[in-house]
Amino acid sequence: MATAVRSRIRTLKIDGRDVSAREDETILELAEENGIFIPTLCRIEGLSLVGACRLCLVEVAGMNKLVPACLTYATEGMEVFTDSERLRNYRRMILELLFSEGNHICAICVSNGKCELQALAQRLGMDHVRFANLQQERLVDMTHERFVVDRNRCILCARCVRVCDEIEWAHTWDIKGRGVDARVITDLDTPWGESDTCTSCGKCVRVCPVGAIVEKGRAVGEMAKRHDFLPHLAKMREAKK
């Protein structure tokens, strides 16, 4: 009697192209492997996936709702569409909502020209924001010796929370509140400079995609960031567990 061998390879279609994926591969990884662009903001290589930004939404044939490509695994016979009028509209709307919830005056931001949100806004053709700004005033914390958190620039991607917890193992950062009231906090919502857990390693600065967590003393457009250290450290952490 032949034993059914469970295949670890899935064959599916992305934008009409036949592709094959490993069973543990997400649509996003598969798309990237095949040179297909899907916008992302919260996803970062080396950290867990949270699906916070929803920019990577794609369409799947037979499903009414959109699914986040970063969190959806490839299945046999799946038909994925990464680009459509509907998706372009939603992606642009998400970007506009991010801009309208906070303060994104790029012209006076330390991350001007080096910001993932700004770059995506340009790439996806956001020429203006249709929603009125919420005019929220979020706390800027400058109590840390070397770093600043300007919550008005924060897009709640939770990269800082994850890097601090998963790589530095300090868990200084968290997100408090829901919806438009959500804020990043340090320790129990106490000043960063007084934190008992923060090791001042600066990893949160390097993964923050925007000008929210930055080094002190930077002028407009000076806050370049690199996070190529992440995949390597993530592997070492994995080995240690």
Partner 1 sequence: MSKAPSKVTVATVWLDGCSGCHMSLLDMDERLIEIAKAVDIVYSPLVDRKTKDYPEMVDVAIVEGAISSSEDIEKIHMIRAHSRILVALGDCAVAGNVPTMRNPYLVKDIESRAYIENVNVQPQVPDQVVPKLLPFVRPIHEVVPVDVFVQGCPPSADTIYFVLSELVAGRTPDLTQRTRPGA
Contact set with partner 1 (CB under 8 A): 99, 104-109, 112-113, 118-119, 121-122, 125-130, 132-133, 135, 137
Q: Judged by CB under 6 A, which stretch of 34-42, 80-88, 90-98, 111-119 contacts ligand FES? A: 34-42
User: Out of ligand FES, ligand SF4, partner 1, none, which partner does residue 184 contact, by CB within 5 to 8 A per kind?
Assistant: ligand SF4
Per residue in 96-121, is it b (16+ CB within 10 Å) or e — as a string? bbbbbbbbbebeebbbbebbbbbebb
The single residue among 31, 41, 106, 117 that binds ligand FES, judged by CB under 6 A, is 41
* Residues 50, 55, 56, 59, Cα dihedral to 10°: 120
Residue 180 CA to residue 136 CA, distance in Å, equals 9
Residue 208's binding partner, choosing from ligand FES, partner 1, ligand SF4, none, with beta-carbon cut-off 5 to 8 A by kind?
Answer: ligand SF4
Question: Interhelix angle for 116-123 vs 85-101, to 10°?
Answer: 140
Cα 17 to Cα 14: distance, rounded to the nearest angstrom: 5
- Picked from partner 1, ligand FES, ligand SF4, none, the partner binding residue 138 (CB below 5 to 8 A depending on kind) is none
* Cβ atoms 57, 69 nearer than 8 A: yes
Cβ 22 to ligand SF4 shortest distance, Å: 29
Binding site for ligand SF4 (CB under 6 A): 104-106, 109, 111-112, 115, 117-118, 153-160, 184, 207-213
Residue 128 partner contact from ligand FES, ligand SF4, partner 1, none using kind-dependent CB cut-offs of 5 to 8 Å: partner 1
Q: Which does 186 bind (CB under 5 to 8 A by kind): ligand SF4, partner 1, ligand FES, none?
A: none
**Residues paired with 60 in a beta bridge:** 80
CB neighbour class for 15 (10 Å; exposed up to 12, middle 13-18, buried from 19): middle
